[in-house]
């Protein structure tokens, strides 16, 4: 039995539940991430000026180890759909994988239902763009221009094909925030996108759009676990230098 893994999962769950309960009353202070602040402003403006927000969830299956980034994208989509459902042009979600596209539709529908506007939900706002990374990017590129999009968030698992979307966004004067779990694609997005999230900032995105205690608690748990790993690494290095291990 993998006790270390089981312990990590158990400890994380315990921290998550406890911190969510502790943070229920006061609103948690979040570190400023310029890309997310800019997207949040653009999102507010898009509701006011009747333009659209596009959320692309990437093409990775939830069955792989990269599925977590798509779940973070769905978390953000849930908040966005709840806040912008009744605008003239509701947000559109695109995915490069069928199951993810279905979950995007479900998430959008849940957002509409949460504000009592189920009748405004349109199934075509959650779309399957393509079955391969490049075909998905190729299908998403014209949407930036054709569908009155003013801001777009790539949040999920993307590869280097994200540069094509950044280029299309720049030509269409669309603010594009890129957030992916792939380090190579992160560097591509840093160079080409209007804003890029680096590393685990991707998982902070839902917390910046949500108001409940759980997203903030999950960020706190990530911080605690990160510090535990840092201490473990330093301790391991020190013990190695001293010749104990």
Partner 1 sequence: MHILALVFAVVAGLLILGGYFVPSLQGIKGLLLNWVIILAGVATIVGVFNLVLVHGTRIHKREKGGTYSAILMVCLFGAFILGLMLGPDHPDMRRLVNAVIVPAESSLMALLAVSLIYGCVRLLRRRANLMSVVFLATAILMLVASATLPFGELGGLHNFVRPWLQHVLALGGARGLLIGVGLGTLVTGLRVLIGADRPYEGG
Q: Where does residue 217 fall: left (phi above 0), alpha (psi -120 to 50 degrees), or beta otherwise?
A: alpha
| Spatial separation of the C-alpha atoms in residues 139 and 137, rounded to whole Å | 5
CA dihedral 112, 36, 145, 183 (to 10 degrees): -110
Per-residue tokens: 60? 């990775």
Nearer to partner 1, 45 or 110 (CB): 110
Nearer to partner 1, 199 or 244 (CB): 199
- Per DSSP, the three-state class of 52 is strand
Other beta carbons within 10 Å of 62: 15
Binding residue for partner 1 (CB under 8 A) from 47, 54, 59, 78? Answer: 78
| Spatial separation of the C-alpha atoms in residues 198 and 177, rounded to whole Å | 11
Nearer to partner 1, 229 or 239 (CB): 229
234 touches partner 1 (CB under 8 A): no
Binding residue for partner 1 (CB under 8 A) from 58, 75, 90, 178? Answer: 75
Q: Which string of b and e fits 118-156 if b means at least 16 CB within 10 Å? A: eeebeeebbbbbbeebeebbbbbbebbeeebbbbbbbbb
90 touches partner 1 (CB under 8 A): no
Which range binds partner 1 by CB under 8 A, 22-30, 41-49, 83-91, 122-130? 122-130
Binders in 167-186 for partner 1, by CB under 8 A: 167, 170, 181, 183, 186
38 touches partner 1 (CB under 8 A): no
Q: How far is the CB of 58 from partner 1 (least distance, A)?
A: 13
Q: How far is the CB of 93 from partner 1 (least distance, A)?
A: 11
Q: How far is the CB of 155 from partner 1 (least distance, A)?
A: 12
Q: How far is the CB of 217 from partner 1 (least distance, A)?
A: 9
| Spatial separation of the C-alpha atoms in residues 75 and 36, rounded to whole Å | 14
Nearer to partner 1, 66 or 150 (CB): 66
Q: How far is the CB of 44 from partner 1 (least distance, A)?
A: 22
């Amino acid at each position: 039995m993998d006790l270390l893994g089981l312990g990590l999962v158990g400890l994380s769950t315990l921290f998550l539940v406890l911190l969510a309960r502790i943070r229920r009353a006061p609103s948690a202070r979040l570190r400023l991430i310029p890309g997310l602040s800019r997207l949040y402003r653009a999102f507010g403006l898009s509701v006011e000026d009747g333009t659209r927000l596009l959320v692309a969830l990437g093409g990775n299956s939830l069955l792989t180890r990269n599925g977590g980034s798509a779940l973070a994208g769905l978390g953000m989509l849930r908040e966005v759909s709840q806040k912008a459902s009744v605008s003239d042009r509701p947000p559109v979600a695109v995915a490069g994988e069928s199951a993810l596209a279905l979950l995007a539709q479900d998430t959008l529908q849940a957002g509409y239902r949460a504000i009592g506007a189920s009748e405004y939900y349109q199934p075509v706002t959650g779309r399957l763009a393509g079955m391969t990374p490049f075909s998905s990017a190729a299908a998403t590129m014209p949407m930036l221009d054709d569908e009155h999009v003013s801001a777009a968030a790539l949040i999920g698992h993307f590869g280097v094909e994200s540069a094509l979307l950044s280029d299309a966004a720049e030509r269409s004067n669309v603010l594009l925030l890129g957030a992916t779990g792939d380090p190579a694609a992160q560097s591509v997005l840093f160079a080409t996108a209007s804003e890029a999230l680096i590393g685990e900032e991707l998982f902070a995105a839902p917390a910046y759009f949500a108001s409940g205690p759980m997203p903030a608690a999950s960020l706190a748990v990530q911080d605690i676990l990160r510090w535990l790993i840092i201490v473990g690494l330093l301790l391991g290095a020190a013990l190695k230098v001293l010749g104990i291990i």
